Structures are given as structure tokens and as C-alpha cells.
Structure 1
């Protein structure tokens, strides 16, 4: 079968590899769509970062690896001991490996497992025609949720998990910094939770236009004073939660000037540079910074439920490409900022 194999920085090759074989407790999936993630870009341009160069504690695998951890597909084969699943079932995959033994796992917070692994980063993944995963990674897709949307359940669950950590409720005011895929996912999640007062702060006119087309209200931080706007529109109360999906110093500093007393700034970004933001506002407000990592099965089910209700829309921000076009039309286009979100369809023929 064809697969995108990662060998190291700036070396990803689409090549022929053996089809994976299903083992006990596992299922084989024909991949419908696989998304390219920001983490994939970091690995390609600056890695290996998370991809192991020695056997991973949970998977035993190391590079070279087939990439791909945001995906949905159709079950084609089930291994011994698998129950409740059969060929033909359409699934989104929650790609986390966890130990079930560390303190976080025992507390139910397996998304911060001390030896966490990801299918497609710590094991051969889904930038391929087929992949094999443990049964417990599966989430059934409703009939009205496409495999294309199913491949977005993973990044949308990252956003949903972060949105929930903000402890917001209908009637609250929330700010989202950054209108990339996770920022868009935050807007979908927050509005799905019943919030009407959500503003997305984004300096890029292209990205503002994309999320505005979905119905979002946006703010251009280069044109207005965002903390002043928030103070004016909340009668000085401040935002009930702010979310940083931009990962830059300016967004953190502005967000801390917007959150109300004892309210959170939820960080769901990767910061490539150290932050030097003064924390005086945080101290004087008794506000806080809350980290957010990954998701749990509850987030997956919540996102799938909202998708079933028709709350997610791919119009204007999601592109689909062939597997053989993964470098030029995928990684390079995303790195250059000419595309926002790219899904790979392994059934498509290459464009060149």
C-alpha cells in the first residue's frame, strides 16, 4: 500500500509499504481522510520532536514511521477478542496510547499520561491506505456525519477540551485568539455550548474572512484596542474566559488584559519562543492561566454529537488532496500559509 513515511527533518516520502496486519484486540481501518496537523509540520521542519528515535515505552516503535493521527475511515477487519465492531463500521479514531498505571491515568486524566503516545507519531499511522489500531480508540460515526468531518473530530476535540476547561456558560463572553484550525474549533465548541458572545481575535484578514463566513464575530488587534473593546462591551467585567490558540507573546499579553477577575486564560497552543509577558494583571485580578492538552473520549463524543446536529462546517477552510501530493499541496502549502486545513484522501489520484 501507499504511505507517507517520516525519516527525519525535511524527509517525508510517499512510498510502498506492507499493509499492516490486525492482531488480537485490534481493528484494521481503510483510511477515508487524514488531516495534517501543526504537530506534523513541526516534526517535518524541525523534528524529530515527539517522534521517538528509540523504541517508545508503549508502542515499541521508532522512526521511520508512517505519519498521521487525525483520521476517520471504515473498519475492514477485526482481530480476535474484538466485540461490538464489524467490517463496514464507520469510525473516527482517538489516537492516544496510555499506560493506565500512572497517577494521571488512574485519576481518569489519561490525556496527560506520563508515557503518552499517539498513533501516527509514536506508531505507524494513517497517512496511508490502511492502518491498524486498538479497539478502544474507536468512536462510531452517525450516518449523517461524513468521513471528512470524522477526520476533523481529533483536532475539534482538542478545541472542545480546551473550551470546556474555561468553565463557560450561556450568556458568558469568551475571546478566542487565533483563527487557525484550533481557533475555528474553539468557536464551534463555544457556540455549540450555547455562548452567543464569542469574539475571535485574528490579525490576518484572510483568516478573519474565513471564520466570518462561518458566522463568527472577529476583532482585528492591529486596528482596535482589544482590552478596551472587551471592557466597553462587558461593562468593565472583562471576559469570562480567553483562549490562546495563536501561540505568540502578543496574544497572551492581550488576553491577560481581557479576562475578568478570577477568570481563566486557557492555553491550547505550542509556544516556540519563551514568553516574557508580565503577570501583574494576573496577580491583581486573581485570574489564572490554564493549560490544555489533547482530549478524552468524552470530548470525542461531545464533538461527534455536535457534528450530528450539524454544528460544524468545512466550507472555506478545509482542502482535500491526494496522498502523493502530501508535500507540495499539504506540508508546503500549510507552512506557507496558503491553506488553513488539509485532509488527505488516499483514494485520490495525484494531481501531477
Structure 2
């Protein structure tokens, strides 16, 4: 079979290797679609802790081609998304049920070889059945959906509250979608107007364009936020950019006794007045991965297929991965989710959108 291995910085090598052998407790999945995210870009740029070489691809879906013992209700021919997270089950977080922050955490396609292959072997317990009516290219989005849902759940939202989502990339948009489902009023902020147009379709009742050169929110934006929150500020803020100033804004704007959830990732330093946390008695929470929420993510996508489809801005064939990563890095045009159509997908012709190499969706 053909695989794509990232062997060095910004270098992908295609190799012909033997297909994996079916092992007990595992399934062989014919990969149909892989979606790319910022983590994939960091790995390709050799700016990721696990290092290279590695076969990338951690957001993926396909069809079960063979299954070993202990099928757990999964059968040959089933359409599945795959949960890529690997955890030890023995460390303190795992024993607490917080395996999403396992001390020995791994991830298929990040810390170990992943889905940019024609056929992949994965443990059966990692397989999640795709609901009817959800195409496999959208099913690959269940992993980012699960991350967004974990962040929302960490914030303990209640119907009738107002939430501010900072960042309208895929995670922020999916968080807005889930919050809206839960009966929360959502306000989205981003620097890009095209993303804010999309946020309105994901349930945002108002959107704010951020100018990085000036204080956020501006006077008119602050008045609108005050009107939505009875001058108290949003009860919940989801920070989905990883930009230090955005976390600073989150702490400053959140209501007293409110919650701030940091899901955006960055190694940069933020500057927060220490007294802002005790004076307002806010909960400052981190969020990473998810607690096996990919099935719930699939259901979210099933309920909102039009919005899920709107996340996909570009498609590339398996033979055009280099161009896909170069587009992600250059940002010469708006990029949401990039779908990689694997050979099995092209052969099946099962997606709504034609799989043209390098085409916009």
C-alpha cells in the first residue's frame, strides 16, 4: 500500500509498504478521508514534541475492511471515525477518569504513525460508528468537534447564559454550534470578517471584529456586549486562539463568578493581573483533547451537516499533501478545514463535493 511519511522538516516522502496484518482486538480500516489541523502543520514544520519521522493524520474516517476478535458491535463494512487518543490507564489523571490529560498520552498520527495511509490498523475500541447521512469527509471532523465540546463542557454552560467565543476558527465555530444547541446565547469575535460571517451561521447572535492594534472591545462593541449581558459581562468565555492578548481579554471581560476556558494552544506568555482572578472569583480552566466525545461529535455533525460542510474550504488529493501544507502555512487565502481525499474515497465517489486536487470546496 501507499503511505505518506513526513521524514524531515517540510518534507513528505511517499513509500510503498506491505499492508498491516490483522491482529486480535484490532480492525483494519480503509481510510477514505483525513482532515488537517494546526497540529498537523506544526508536525510538518518539525515544531512538535514527538519529532520526525512520522506518518501524520489524526482526524480521519473510513470503512472497516477486516476485524479481529472482540469486535464490540463493529462489523466489516461499517463506516467509522477513529478516536486517535492513546492513554495508559494507570497514571493519576487516568485513575481519576481524566485520561484526556494522561501523563503518558499519545495520539495516532502525532506521536505514532497515523492515517495518511491506504489501510490502517487500530484497536477496535477506537472505532466510532458514523451516523447515517453523514459523509465520511465530514465524519473526519468528529475529532475537532470533540475538542470543542470538551472545552464547552469544561465551562459548565447553562441555558440562558451568554458566552463569548474568542476565535472563529474550526474549534471556536464548533464550540459556538454546541453552545447554541445547549440554549446559550453566543457572541463570537475574530480578526477575520469572513470567519465572522460563518459564525453567524453557527448560531452567534452577534459578532465582533477584533483589531489587534486597538483595545477590544471598542466602545460600540462594548455597548452591544453590555446590552446582551445586563452590564455584567459574559458568564462563560471560550478562548480558542492561543493568542496571549486574547486570554487577557477573556479574564478582563468575563463576569464575576464566571468561567474562562483556555482551549487555544500556545507557548507564549500572557500577562494577567493576579487580582483579577480572586476579585471576580472566576474559574480559569484548561481544556485538552476530550473524554471520548467523538461519538457525541458525530451526532453534533449529523444535526448540523450544512454548518459542518461550511467548515471545509479546500480539498486535496493524497498525492498533493505538500501543496496542502504549503497553503496552510502561507495563508494566502482564507483556510478552514482541509480535506484530504484518499484513494479509496476517490474510487467510491461518495462525498458531496468532487475531489479535485487542490480545489476549493
TM-score for both structures, normalised by structure 1: 0.90
Over aligned residues, Cα RMSD in angstroms?
A: 2.0
Partner of 2:36: 36
- Counterpart for residue 357 of structure 2: 351
Partner of 1:243: 238
Give the Cα–Cα distance (whole angstroms) in 2 for the partners of residues 170 and 258 of structure 1: 20
Task: Give CA-to-partner distance per residue, 1:194-250, whole Å, 9 cap, x none.
Answer: 22x101111112222233344533111237345554234211221110011111122
* Alignment correspondent of 1:201: 189
Partner of 2:298: 304
Look up the match of 1:113.
102
For residues 27 and 70 of structure 1, what CA distance do their matches in structure 2 show?
A: 17
- Does residue 134 (structure 1) correspond to residue 115 (structure 2)? The answer is no
Matched, 1:74 2:63: yes
Q: Which moved more, 1:222-231 or 1:94-103?
A: 222-231
Tell me whether 1:342 sits opposite 2:338 in the alignment: yes
| Aligned partners of 2:29 and 2:66 also within 8 Å | yes
Contact (CA 8 Å) 2:176, 2:202: kept in 1 or not?
no
Q: Does 1:323 align with 2:318?
A: yes
Distance (whole Å) between structure 2 residues aligned to residue 188 and residue 268 of structure 1: 16
Structure 1 stretches of 5 or more lacking a match? 53-62
Q: Secondary structure at the match of 1:190?
A: helix
Q: How far apart in 2 are the matches of 1:36 and 1:2? A: 19
Question: Using the alignment, how far apart are the partners of 2:182 and 2:4 within structure 1?
Answer: 37
Q: Deviations over 1:24-58 (max 9, x none)?
A: 110010112111121111112242x2325xxxxxx
After TM superposition, which residue ranges in structure 1, 4 or more long, deviate above 4 angstroms? 225-228
Q: Flag the 1:141–1:315 CA change in 2: closer, same or farther, 3 A.
A: closer
1: distance between equivalents of 2:7 and 2:162?
45
CA distance in 1, matches of 2:29, 2:222: 48
Match of 2:278? 283
Structure 2 match to 1:60: none
Could you say which residue in structure 1 is the equivalent of 2:249? 254
Post-superposition shift, 1:10? Answer: 1.8
Q: Would the alpha carbon gap of residues 215 and 263 (structure 1) be closer, same or farther in structure 2, given more than 3 Å must change?
A: closer
Deviation digits for residues 170-215 of structure 1 (CA, Å, limit 9, x no counterpart): 11100111111111111111112222x1011111122222333445
Match of 2:352 in 1: none
Q: Does 1:233 align with 2:228?
A: yes
* Aligned residue in 2 for 1:50: 49
Q: SS of 2:307's equivalent? A: coil
Instruction: Name the SS of the counterpart of 2:43 in structure 1.
Output: helix
Cα offset, 1:121, TM superposition: 1.4
Number of residue pairs matched by the alignment: 338
- Cα distance change, pair 27–72 in 1 and its aligned pair in 2 (3 A): same
Tell me what 1:104 maps to. Answer: 93
For 1:210 and 1:13, locate their aligned partners in 2 and report how far apart those are by CA, in whole Å.
Answer: 36
Matched, 1:267 2:262: yes
Match of 1:50, SS state, is: coil
Q: 1:201 to 1:114 in 2, by over 3 A?
A: same
Moved more, 265-274 or 302-311: 302-311
Whole-Å Cα distance in 2 between the matches of residues 121 and 310 of structure 1? 28
TM-superposition CA deviations, 1:258-280 (whole Å, max 9, x none): 11112111000111322223343
Tell me by how many angstroms 1:94 deviates: 0.8
Partner of 2:3: 3
Structure 1: distance between partners of 2:223 and 2:253: 8
Name 1:59's counterpart in structure 2. Answer: none
Distance 2:195 2:63 in 1: 32
What is aligned with 2:173? 184
Cα offset for 1:89? Answer: 0.6
State the 1:91 CA deviation: 0.8
